[in-house]
Structure 1
Amino acid sequence: MRRSILRQGKVGRRRVLAAALLAMAGAFGPALPAYAQRVADAAPVTWPPAPAVLAAQHQRAFSGLPAHIQSQLPDVQSVAVVHRGHLAFEFYRTGLTADTLQDTQSVTKSVLALLFGQAQADGHVRGPQELVALRLPQLLRMGADARVQRLRFEHLLTMTAGWPGEQTAQRDRDDDLGWIVRRPFLDDPGKKFTYDNGAANLLAMALANALQQPLSTYARQRLFEPLGIHAFDWRQGAAGHDLGALGLSLTTRGMARLGELVLNEGRWQGRALVPAAYVRAATERQNAGGAPLFSAYGYLWWVSPTAPSRKAERRTAMANGYGGQWIYVYPPLDLVVAVTSRRHAESMSRGQALMLIRGQVLPAIQRVR
């Protein structure tokens, strides 16, 4: 089942014109070839025009990039580059537009982390140190390993719950609470990073229980609409819960806007949507991380140093999904890059989206003065 939220009011709620077969394979698993759906007449995410000098610099910096992507990076489907608060570059393959919803796969996890910080600010949860069972008492009646009772939100946010890693979606089990928590522990909570879809789905269920409403409803009211994101799609599991490991579809511009929120440490247009201290913690190294990205890990965000010799500099924050879905936040250049790619194993292994970001986009922006 899938819950779609479209803008209401002046724009009006319109039918989804076309829905492709979105991949259900999960964050890191096989995917069907179709990858998008089109939403009609939803107000798009927009930016103010760049000053003339900056706009001209952007145009020169990216002048040859569309042809390069078209011919050399066939996995890449769409790109949005936001520099200094302005849309500097955009690319869409034939059949896609700025209004097309893209299946973000595990980028969902990073958005879930932002929702947790927002819920903390709203008083629905106390913070990462709180016991999960206090917000999801059903855990105490599951007959699972006693270590379930010691799970804190921090363990789910940092992928250190202790369960064996689960990197593929389980269509009939993604939101099966009993199946998730009865899995055998390999380590005590907090001991070791293991990338696990089950932990993210558990976090989503616990947070929704604390909110007493679906995650998608809370996200629309408290995160997406304040950011100007008026169309999205959030997939549900077999038991009817909005998933946390995957399932969120956004426009590429919407992905970029969320990256801007992280770049601005949770503030948007003078308003603190997510506490700055929480955003900093989410995008700082909480542990060494590991597979599948082999980078350090924060709170459901991958992180890496922007300049190893400058320890005080903010780290690069990365939301990553199967096949090459990226929100790449690079503070030194006041830069956000959102990229979507085909969702299959070959695209994942080729890594063309990350090659594009690091090999073409960052050097192009570095030439802008």
Structure 2
Amino acid sequence: MNLSELEHTFKKKKVNAFLVYQKGEIVTEYYKTEKCAQNVYKINSITKSIISILIGIALEKGYIHSIHTPIVEWIPNMPKEKQLLTMYHLLTMTTGEDWKEFGDGVIFPNDFVESQNWIDYILNKPITKQPGTKMNYNSGSSHVLSYILQLVTGMTTAAFVDKYLFEPLHITSYQWQQDPQGIFVGGFGMKMKPKDMLKIGQLCLQNGYWNGQQLVSSNWIEQSHQKRFTTYERVGAYGYHWWILDRETCNVPYHTYFAMGYGGQYILIVPQLELTAVISSQMPKRGLVPLKLFVKYLQEMH
């Protein structure tokens, strides 16, 4: 299975865009229609991995001193049982909170989204497991990260992303949902063009460099895709808001890390092959299919 075969397979699926950049150039650029190139698509939880990059930038700029600082430093009204939770717990989704969102299928956290105050809703979720022991997918954690970014920088997360990430990458047409308090949603809610998603992948592939300028530290990118916790069967391990596949966990010949959004949205990075790929799909019930096909491609080319 080579890239053109993979592209051909995607053409038969509900894939709107499939882009591959390798060794300095775009080698595959498939769009289902002309419009697919220009449209902004829901990237869903890929938003989380963008938040992770922003945390790295905030560290570099001195807005945050350490991801091991207890969150209570910024959010004083944390419940007593959550006084020791840190940004590390949020980034790795190991807060131990009672939260159902992923596992036996995907359950959208409707109660959370329908609540009057999203941050309060998350803070009041009870802890049922020892923090730092088990990864449990939680969009609330990502939202708290967006809130902390707003608190420490004194600007909205959208203003921060524009200034330090999107403007240098020339990403101008995107949309981003806000919660009832106006906080930009950390866990989902962003829409973007496939070509702009690819720029995020390129930035990571280039260890945080873009046109000779370092936008985020290489060390942060490196830290983000270290395997820290096992997740769900067939989905790999988890780092700092990035998923990780490798030989041990998924029989993948090359270390691969990726951002994943509901319904088959992906930014995949394979450093050894100097490759990054973007898949934008409309597969609400079968969102893991593009990932499986991409993994198959990696296995067969090895």
TM-score normalised to the size of structure 2?
0.88
* Contact 2:6 2:294 survives alignment (8 Å): no
- 1:363 and 1:162 mapped to 2: Cα distance? 35
* Number of the residue aligned with 1:227: 169
Residue 286 (str. 1) matches residue 228 (str. 2): yes
**Alpha-carbon offset, residue 343 of structure 1:** 4.8
CA contact (8 A) 1:302 1:318 kept: yes
Q: Does the aligned pair in 1 maintain the 2:59–2:65 contact within 8 Å?
A: yes
CA drift of 1:174 comes to 8.6
Letter in 2 for 1:295: G
Map of 1:8 onto structure 2 = none
Q: Which residue of 2 aligns with 1:262?
A: 204
SS at match of 2:241: coil
Q: TM-score under structure 1 normalisation?
A: 0.73
Paired residue secondary structure (1:347): coil
Q: Which residue number corresponds to residue 290 of structure 2? A: 353
5 Å-filtered alignment, 1:1-369, equals: 62-63=3-4, 67-71=8-12, 73=13, 75-94=14-33, 96-137=35-76, 139-140=77-78, 144=79, 146-167=80-101, 168-170=108-110, 171-173=113-115, 176-288=118-230, 290-291=231-232, 294-305=235-246, 307=247, 315-344=255-284, 346-348=285-287, 351-360=288-297, 362=298
Q: Post-superposition shift, 1:68?
A: 3.7
Q: What secondary structure sits across from 2:147 in the alignment?
A: helix
CA contact under 8 A between 1:108 and 1:247: conserved in structure 2?
yes
Verify the 8 A CA contact 1:337 1:357 in the aligned structure 2: no
Q: Distance in 2 between matches of 1:239 and 1:155?
A: 24
RMSD (Å), alpha carbons = 2.4
In structure 1, how many angstroms separate the alpha carbons of the residues matched to 2:117 and 2:188?
Answer: 11
Cα 1:90/1:175, change in 2 over 3 Å: farther
Query: Against the structure 1 CA distance between its residues 63 and 314, is the aligned structure 2 distance closer, same or farther, given a 3 Å change threshold?
Result: closer
Q: Return the offset for 1:165.
A: 2.7
Judged with a 3 Å threshold, the aligned counterparts in structure 2 of structure 1 residues 269 and 95 are, in CA distance, closer, same or farther, namely closer
Three-state SS of the structure 2 residue aligned to 1:231 is coil
Which residue does 2:104 correspond to in 1?
none
- Structure 2 unaligned regions, length at least 5: 102-107
Q: Which amino acid aligns with 2:81?
A: R
1:317 and 1:175 map into 2 onto residues whose CA distance is 33
CA distance in 2, matches of 1:67, 1:191: 42
Which residue identity is paired with 2:238? Y
**2: CA distance, partners of 1:65 / 1:357:** 7
Q: Do the aligned residues in 2 keep the contact of 1:195 with 1:291 (CA within 8 Å)?
A: no
Offset from partner CA, 1:120-168 (integer Å, 9 cap, x none): 111111121112121223x34xxx3x12211110000000111023322
Q: Note closer, same or farther for the CA distance 1:325–1:293 as it changes in structure 2 (3 Å cut).
A: farther
Structure whose alpha-carbon radius of gyration is higher: 1
Percent identity reads: 27
- Where in structure 1 are there 5+ consecutive unaligned residues? 1-60
Give, in angstroms, the shift of residue 293 of structure 1: 5.7
Which whole-Å CA distance do the structure 1 matches of 2:8 and 2:221 have between them? 36
Q: Residues 316, 198 of structure 1: CA spacing in aligned structure 2 closer, same or farther, 3 A cutoff?
A: same
**Is the partner of 1:150 in helix, strand or coil?**
coil
d(CA) in 2 for partners of 1:333 and 1:66? 18
Equivalent AA in structure 1 for residue 59 of structure 2: Q
Is the 2:268–2:278 contact (alpha carbons within 8 Å) kept by the matching residues of 1?
A: yes
Native 8 Å contact 2:263 2:282 kept in 1: yes
Determine the C-alpha separation between the residues in 2 that align with 1:174 and 1:358.
Answer: 41
